[in-house]
Amino acid sequence: MDLNGKTILITGGTGSFGQKFIELVTERYTPKRLIIFSRDELKQFEMSSRFPKAKFPFIRYFIGDVRDLERLRRAFDGVDVLIHAAALKQVDTCEYNPFEAVKTNVNGSANVIDAALDCGVKQVINLSTDKAANPINLYGATKLCADKMFVAANNYSGTKDTRFSVVRYGNVVASRGSVVPLFLRQKETGSLTITDPEMTRFWISLEEAVEFVLTSLGCMRGGEIFVPKIPSVRITDLAQAIAPECEIKSIGIRPGEKLHEVMVSRDDARNTIELDDRFVIHPSDCSQAMKETYANKFGGKCCSRGFEYSSENNDHWLTVDDLKQMVSGMVI
């Protein structure tokens, strides 16, 4: 995907993903404008110090909230590519504050869709999560709702060229709310807490997540949910990699937490194409002929009925040594 000369906007742009996205895009491209849209003026100030105006004159900062449709319309004016990363993401926080989660993750997503259509944005990608597949917590439910909305948005774009797709991936190493910073803090106490020793998770680095979004921009047609093929980790292996000398205490699964995560459910299998590096979930109303045409074009195949892509049955696992290398040098 060539982003030179394009106007790009990322909602929630001061978060972990946004920081890495801006870093990689500025290393490789010279956009016309690169707009960071977020609520936190302090984080924007800190980000502007990292990316000074003298060196990055095309970067702009918009204070705003996705709950504010008029502000989104103002910010999206002239935008070519939009990455929607803004969300309330902490499972515990969303469980305790359900109305706020809905206002941001569902209503805010509806506002992003409406503003993108109103302003003629060409490409829109919504960042999703493995917790949106067969959700059991409110965060996952709001993200599934948002996924459905972004896929359906292609049906009412009318004569506009705006296209919407979704990127769904697993836990991001050392992002805000990740277990890695928690383990690093607990390491100093001599004891790590895990919820269940059988727990597994999908694992992806921030750079890999950004790379996947960029490649998805290059192949999106509208309506796809892109799922990367990424490794799984056992939570006990991660604890061993970070603090092998520490005692492990099992504290039980928290409300809304799964033992294993899923990114392609069995119910979605019939709509899913497997490519070399990803799965592509098509809308449920997509015909078999269209799915086969897509698979042939990109050298893929239709998944069998009953297929499931979960962190438990993955064929790619990170070892303790792999994890040691990934977390080495990380600080709290």
Alpha-carbon span 194 to 234, nearest angstrom: 11
Question: How many whole angstroms separate alpha carbon 167 and alpha carbon 221?
Answer: 13
Can you give the pLDDT at residue 177?
63
Per domain, the residue ranges of the chain are 7-237+257-265+308-327
SS3 206: helix
Which pLDDT does position 308 carry in this prediction? 96
Catalytic residue IDs: 131
Which residue, 130, 124, 100, 68, is CA-closest to 261?
Answer: 130
CATH code at 7-237+257-265+308-327: 3.40.50.720
Report the alpha-carbon distance of residue 301 to residue 280 in Å, rounded: 10
Instruction: Look at residue 332 in the predicted model and tell me its pLDDT.
Output: 52
pLDDT for res 176: 66
Among candidates 201, 136, 204, which has minimal Cα distance to 167? 204
- CA nearest 225: which of 297, 305, 127, 304? 127
Structure pTM?
0.94
Which pLDDT belongs to residue 156? 86
| Structure confidence at residue 330 (pLDDT) | 63
**pLDDT in single tens digits along all 332 residues of the chain:** 799 999 999 999 999 999 999 999 999 999 999 999 999 999 999 999 999 999 999 999 999 999 999 999 999 999 999 999 999 998 889 999 999 999 999 999 999 999 999 999 999 999 999 999 999 999 999 999 999 999 999 998 888 899 999 999 988 886 766 788 888 889 889 999 999 999 999 999 999 999 999 999 999 999 999 999 999 999 999 999 999 899 899 999 887 889 999 999 999 999 999 999 999 999 988 888 888 888 888 899 999 999 999 999 999 999 999 998 887 766 55
Q: Give me 103's structure tokens.
A: 């206002």
What's 41's DSSP letter? H
